[in-house]
Amino acid sequence: MEQKLKIYNTLKRKKQKFEPINPPFVGLYVCGPTVYGDAHLGHARPAVIFDLLYRYLKYLGYKVRYVRNLTDVGHLENDADEGEDKIAKKARLEELEPMEIAQRYINAYHKNMRQLNTIEPNIEPQASGHIPEQIKMVEQILEQGFAYEKNGSVYFDVEKYSEKYDYGKLSGRVVEDLKSNTRDLQGQTEKKNPFDFALWKKAEPEHIMRWDSEWSNGFPGWHLECSVMSTKYLGEQFDIHGGGLDLQFPHHECEIAQSTAATGNEAVKYWMHNNMITIDGQKMSKSLGNFIKLDEMFSGEHKLLEQAFNPQVVRFFMLQAHYRKPLDFSNKALKASEKGLNRLMEAMRVLEKLEPGKRSTVDISGIKEKCFTALNDDLNTPILIAHLFDGVKIINSVKAGKEALSKDDLTNLRALYSDLVYDVLGLTPEEEKANTQGNTEQLMQLLLKLRAKAKKNKDFETADAIRNELNELGINVKDTPDGAEWSMD
């Protein structure tokens, strides 16, 4: 395995050669979703990008452990419906269990992830399942003197920490600036400094998810789970930590601080951040309410959508842009991706059927290298895809008889495209739906034979009627020099 992969490390603000701590093993941790809502388009980006990274690392021969958490410890609150009969609500099963809500969204998330053809992580830990470990880390940080307790809550002492370590190294913040720029918010009177963050929070009555600890009945702070679960499953030092750019500060900065404060060691070697999906140039987010749920993308049921886009199109759309650039949603852009993807996948089918020539009339030796150069350059999938389309031209020319490929070249090209398109980019081949129904093929051949006969007799009315009605059934017929072909949507 020749190692040329470079990735952009947010920590160093530059591309770096990827060198795992303990090759061939690679530890990869990615911040997953908060499971109190349906997944939207924005959630799909890190899922697809880090799935791509995972696939590529495996392709390169690394033994990767991919951990992606589920945040199920949040600010879930009771809505306290005043009008309802409180006594009736006491019935255990009539009240929604917090875990029931989380489970519902976890199930939905998993479904969406499968649709996007992402490989499931090796471990998908839930914050609620790691409360004892989180409590232990709070204790460790307290022991090291980088936290303080106040009224049952425990806060991280940023000022103390920054005397010894560099708080802000990931996000580029300076503690002095934070001091002057952080506004005083409500409920922060317990903190020594406004930029201190909670490690353990005493629960207010409306908080549903709560656990006992030596400090109070409460819940762990927002940033703690990732520090705890990443080091639990990947070790105190591991290779790659990924997540959305919006998590860089404070979430990831706090993670660094927590891990460093607890163990004295920084946990993560490479930090990778995907940029945001925007809509009309603005970040798609829950708080802005301008997001499109993945289910809506796939069904087309959203006021901004002119049509449904299948998950593969959404995946391809994201791969056509570089992961560190913002990507703006629009129907036009998605439609262009849909067409492009169809063209690529059509070429994949053509490639399988190509007959080898005596010798090659085109040089394909450079394609492979170009493709991997692009991938190795911080996962530059837009460039990779551009090269793949160059190959599509060649494939089509061979099919048209204008060019030829030797047997070896054809074999190599097939292997390359299969590796890149299916295995690395994670685009799925069209299933052979046609053959699932036993004698469909024979029936189709019968119809096409009748249609060919009609055409021969210049009975185009009948020929077109057959084609149009098949079309309505989702079957496309196209005439080629070698006779008619058919395919299903």
Partner RNA sequence: GGUCGCGUGGCCGAGCGGUUAGGCAGUGGUCUGCAAAACCAUGUACAGCGGUUCGAAUCCGCUCGCGACCUCCA
Site residues (CB under 7 A) for RNA, limited to 150-179: 171-173, 177-178
Q: Rounded to an integer, what is the distance from CA 276 to the centroid of its chain?
A: 12
Residue 26 CB, shortest distance to RNA, in Å, is 20
Which residues lie below 8 Å from residue 487, measured CB to CB, with a gap of 6+?
430, 434, 475, 476
> Please, which residue, 203 or 336, has the CB nearer to RNA?
336
Determine contact, residues 460/476, Cβ cutoff 8 Å: no
CA angle 433, 434, 436 (to 5 degrees): 70
Site for RNA in 74-103 (CB under 7 A): 74-75
Give the span between the Cα atoms of 297 and 301, in whole angstroms: 7
Q: Which of 89, 111, 136, 402 binds RNA (CB under 7 A)?
A: 402
Q: Which range in 56-64, 100-108, 314-322, 353-361 contacts RNA by CB under 7 A?
A: 314-322
**DSSP strands (E only) in 123-237:** 147-150, 153-156, 198-202, 211-212, 217-220
Site for RNA in 419-458 (CB under 7 A): 455
Q: Which of 128, 162, 278, 376 binds RNA (CB under 7 A)?
A: 278
Site for RNA in 184-213 (CB under 7 A): 185, 194-195, 197
Coil vs helix vs strand at 29: strand
Q: Is 332 in the site for RNA (CB under 7 A)?
A: yes
Residue 88 CB, shortest distance to RNA, in Å, is 32
| DSSP state letters, 386-437 | HHHHHHHHHHHHHHTTSS---HHHHHHHHHHHIIIIIIIS-PPPPP-GGGGG
Q: Is 382 in the site for RNA (CB under 7 A)?
A: yes
> Please, which residue, 229 or 392, has the CB nearer to RNA?
392
> Please, which residue, 47 or 267, has the CB nearer to RNA?
47
Q: Is 370 in the site for RNA (CB under 7 A)?
A: no
Q: What dihedral angle (degrees, nearest 10) is formed by the CA atoms of 239, 240, 241, 242?
A: 180
> Please, which residue, 20 or 315, has the CB nearer to RNA?
315
Q: Total residues at the site for RNA (CB under 7 A)? A: 88
Residue 246 CB, shortest distance to RNA, in Å, is 4
Q: Which residues of 213-232 are buried (b: 16+ CB within 10 A; e: fewer)?
A: bebbebbbbbbbbbbbbbbe
Q: Is 287 in the site for RNA (CB under 7 A)?
A: yes
Q: Is 322 in the site for RNA (CB under 7 A)?
A: yes
Give the span between the Cα atoms of 387 and 376, in whole angstroms: 14
Q: Is 124 in the site for RNA (CB under 7 A)?
A: no
How crowded is residue 10: how many other Cβ atoms within 10 Å of its Cβ? 22
Site for RNA in 217-256 (CB under 7 A): 222, 243-251
Coil vs helix vs strand at 236: coil
**Is 402 buried (19+), middle (13-18) or exposed (0-12) by CB count in 10 A?**
exposed
> Please, which residue, 20 or 52, has the CB nearer to RNA?
52
Q: Is 4 in the site for RNA (CB under 7 A)?
A: no
Residue 407 CB, shortest distance to RNA, in Å, is 22
Residue 75 CB, shortest distance to RNA, in Å, is 7
Site for RNA in 13-32 (CB under 7 A): 31-32
Q: Which range in 52-60, 110-118, 395-403, 417-425 contacts RNA by CB under 7 A?
A: 395-403
Site for RNA in 32-61 (CB under 7 A): 32-34, 42-43, 45-46
Tokens of 403: 């060019």
**Is 60 buried (19+), middle (13-18) or exposed (0-12) by CB count in 10 A?**
buried
Q: Which of 137, 385, 427, 447 binds RNA (CB under 7 A)?
A: 385
Coil vs helix vs strand at 166: coil
Q: Which of 70, 284, 404, 405 binds RNA (CB under 7 A)?
A: 284
Residues for the chain: how many in total? 489
Residue 90 CB, shortest distance to RNA, in Å, is 30
Coil vs helix vs strand at 18: coil
